[in-house]
Amino acid sequence: MNKTKNLSRYIAEMTIAMLLWGVAWTAGKVSAEHANAHVAAFWRYAISFITIIPVVWYMKIPLGTNAKGVFYMLIAGILTSLFNYFFFAGLAHGQAGYGGTMVTALAPIITYVISIAFLGIEVNLRQVTALAIGIAGALILLKVPFEGFGFLNADSLYFLGCAVVWAMVTIFSQKASRVAHPMFYTLIVFGITAFINMLFALPSHPFDFGFYDSTFWLTIIFIGLLPGTFSTTLYFLSAGKIGAHNTGVFMFIVPIGAIVSSWMVYGEEPAFSTVVGCLLAFAAVLLFNLKRSTRQKEAI
């Protein structure tokens, strides 16, 4: 009974974390409208870095890794800073609901493609079929059947960049998890990301607190604290109990938070192509991960 109760609690916590990650897309659009991409990118991770320090200390997380871990963290930090900029730049031009759906759906598919093409992961017929479905979903999300290569514009190109970069971050995160605690890894990546984004934000005077209005500060604190530190902590605590296989499925709750919040704040209605593309990508992730062999997991 207690085991079932605990599992239900972890599922609820994971759901909350995913919904907050989705809402972050809408809040990010608000903050980008009241500052610029560089300043918003810096403060998002600066706040997360500062507030996750006491969490790591309270949880008594081991603060150690090896040379490989340092390398993985450095590369992940650089890539995350690029993702962070694409995130806010894309939201300054495009819709929050579409961005949250597109990135969440495409990133796993791109991760699989990179892993197969460059990391030598062996796949069976079922997984090849899953990738074909995922790629079809990706093409629909990018509106290629309807608009050709019209997605190559500011409204969508930044979000596509987010998906590609996040796929690469995912691969380095998987490798780093073998040589460092996930929370310690997150702490260091947050710090590296904030520092790099700060360098690009300095010309915009990010420490001139009176220059940016209260709407910016409220939304950026919300993003850094709740979708950032709070949701990340819930994610790692719950993922360890639910299992890696089920964790990937929960990621598809993110578009719900993004679509609903963007509809409430901006009146953005999801296009039919967005819903269909997301569902196909979701089906592809489920199919690809069914009964994955130990050998395949280790290859990643």
The pLDDT assigned to 286 comes to 81
CB 90 within 8 A of CB 159: yes
**Sequential DSSP letters for 237-265:** HHHHHH-HHHHHHHGGGHHHHHHHHHHHH
The pLDDT assigned to 201 comes to 96
This prediction's pTM? 0.87
Beta-strand (E) ranges in 61-218? none
CA–CA gap between residue 240 and residue 33 (Å, rounded): 37
CA–CA gap between residue 101 and residue 271 (Å, rounded): 11
The pLDDT assigned to 68 comes to 93
CA–CA gap between residue 295 and residue 299 (Å, rounded): 6
CA–CA gap between residue 71 and residue 66 (Å, rounded): 9
Sign of torsion over alpha carbons 290, 293, 295, 298: positive
> Tokens at residue 51, please?
């507030």
The pLDDT assigned to 298 comes to 43
pLDDT per residue as tens, the chain (300 positions): 566 667 788 788 888 998 999 999 999 999 999 999 999 999 999 999 999 999 999 999 999 999 999 999 999 999 999 999 999 999 998 899 989 998 988 888 888 888 888 777 777 888 889 889 988 988 888 888 877 776 677 778 899 999 999 999 988 888 888 899 999 999 999 999 999 999 999 999 999 999 999 999 999 999 999 999 999 888 887 766 766 556 667 788 899 899 999 999 999 888 888 889 889 988 888 887 775 544 444 444
CA–CA gap between residue 31 and residue 234 (Å, rounded): 24
Full residue range of the structural domain in which residue 163 is found: 2-299
The pLDDT assigned to 245 comes to 53
The pLDDT assigned to 284 comes to 86
The pLDDT assigned to 4 comes to 65
The pLDDT assigned to 282 comes to 86
Name the domain count of the chain: 1
Cβ partners under 8 Å of residue 186, min gap 6:
52, 232, 236
**What are the tens digits of pLDDT across the range 181-192?**
999 999 999 999
CA–CA gap between residue 80 and residue 169 (Å, rounded): 7
Rounded to 5 degrees, φ, ψ at 36 are -145, 170
